[in-house]
Amino acid sequence: METVKITWSHYYGTLQKISLLAGLWPFLQLRTRLFRIGLQIVNMITISVPQMAFQFRCRDIHCFLLSLTAILLSIVAVVKVYTFQLNILKFKELTEHLYVDWKNLETPEEYEIMKSYAENSRRFSIIYPVYCIVGTTVFMSVSIVPHIFDVVLPLNESRPLLLPYPGYYFVDSREYFTYIFWHSFLSWQIVIIGIFAHDCMFVCYVEHVSSMFAVVGYRFESLIYDRKDALSKNENADLDEKLRRRVAYLVHTHREALELAQLLESIFNIPFAVQMGISTVGMSITLLQGQKLLDRSIETRDKIYNSSWYKTPRNLRKLLILIMMKSLQPSLLTAGKIYIFSLENFATVLQTSMSYFTVLASF
C-alpha cells in the first residue's frame, strides 16, 4: 500500500498540484473549488469586457478580425473550465482509477507497463505548463518593447502604443498603460493555468486508460503462453477450469477499461467539438487573409497587362514593365519567415502532418 502511494505521488503529484491551483481537482473541498473557479470566471469577464467594447467600436471586418484571436482563446478557456464543473462526478471516478488500478497489478511486468504510460503523463505535466507560461509571458512582453526603446533609444515622438491584445478600456491607453499591461499579463496567466490544468488532466486520463488496455493485452498474451507450458508438462487436470476462471476475470477487467474509455469520451466529446470548431475558424480566417493579400498583390500585374498600356508613352511603358516584374513576387503573410499563409501551403501542411502522424504511430 505504501509503495502504491509513493508511486502515485511520483507520477501524479505534479498533476494534482496543477489541478489544485486551477481549482480543477475533483476532491477539492467545495468551498475552495467554488472560490477558485469563481476567480477564474471573474478574471475572464475582466478580459472579455474590453474585447467586447473594442468590437462595438469597430467599423470594418479587419478591425473585428484583429481581436478575434483573443476572443476565441477566452471561449476555449470557458469551455475547459465548465467541462470540469459539468462532469465533476465523472472526473472523480476517473481520478480514483489513477490510484486503485495500481493496486490490482499482478506482476512486475504489468507494473513496468503502467509505469511507462504514467511517465508520459508526468513528463507532459511538467513540460506543457512551462511551455504555456513561457509562451504567454513572451507574447505579453512584446507590448512593452516600444516603451523600452522610448527610454533606450528615444525619438522626437513616442513610438506607437502596442497593447497586449486588442481591447478598449474606457480610459487613455497610453496614460494607463502600466495598469493595462499588468492586468492583461496577470489575467492571461490565470486563464492559461486553467487551460493547461485541463489539458494535463486529459492527457493523464488517456495515458492511464491506454495503460489499462496494454495490461489487459499482456494478461491475455501471458494466458496463452501459460497454456502452452502446461500442455508441454501434461498438467491438464484442472487447467480448463482455471483457464475459464482466468478468462472470465480478464473479460471483466477489459470491460472496466472499455467503460473508462467510454467515460472519457462522454466527458470530452462536446468540448473537443467546440474547440475544433474554434480552431478551424481561427485558422481559416488567418489563411483567408493571407491568401487574399497574396492574390491581390499578384493581381496588380494582371490588371496592368489588361489595361490600355499600349496607348501610353514609350518611357512610361518601361516603368509599367518594372512594376509588373516587381509584382511577380507576391506579398505574403508568414509565420516566423518559415510558413507562408496560403491555401496551397495549408494543404501541404495537412499532408505532412499525416506523414508525421504515421511515423509517430509506428513507434
Give the tens place of pLDDT for each residue, 212-221. 899 888 888 8
DSSP string, 113-163: HHHHHHHHHHHHHHHHHHHHHHHHHHHHHGGGHHHHHHHHS--SSPPPP--
Q: What is the dihedral of CA 35, 206, 13, 2, to 10 degrees?
A: 120
pLDDT in tens, 142-171: 878 777 777 777 777 777 777 777 788 888
DSSP string, 248-296: HHHHHHHHHHHHHHHHHHHHHHHHHHHHHHHHHHHHHHHHHHHHHHHHH
pLDDT at 335 over 50: yes
- β-partners of residue 334 are 340
Burial 121-145 (b: 16+ CB within 10 A, else e): bbebbeebbeebeeebeeebeebee
Count how many Cα atoms sit within 13 Å of the Cα of residue 53 in the half-sphere of its side chain: 12
pLDDT in tens, 243-261: 778 788 888 888 888 888 8
Percent of the chain with pLDDT over 90: 4
Q: What is the pTM of this model?
A: 0.76
pLDDT at 98 over 70: yes
One-letter amino acid of 191 = V
The CA distance from 151 to 162, in Å, is: 15
Backbone angles phi, psi at 335, to 5 degrees: -110, 100
Q: What is the mean pLDDT of residues 274-286?
A: 73
Q: Are 50 and 168 in contact (CB under 8 A)?
A: yes
**Residue keyed to cell 506579398:** 331
Q: Are 61 and 44 in contact (CB under 8 A)?
A: no
Cell of 120: 508520459
One-letter amino acid of 35 = F
pLDDT at 333 over 70: no
pLDDT at 137 over 80: yes
The CA distance from 313 to 271, in Å, is: 64
* Long-range pairs, 33-39, Cβ under 8 A, ≥24: 37/81, 37/85, 39/190
Lowest mean pLDDT among 58-72, 227-241, 291-305: 227-241
Pick from 321, 70, 311, 113: nearest CA to 216: 113
Q: If you average pLDDT over each of 142-151, 178-187, 336-345, which comes out highest?
A: 178-187
The CA distance from 89 to 101, in Å, is: 18
171 in helix, strand or coil? Answer: coil
At 2 the pLDDT is 62
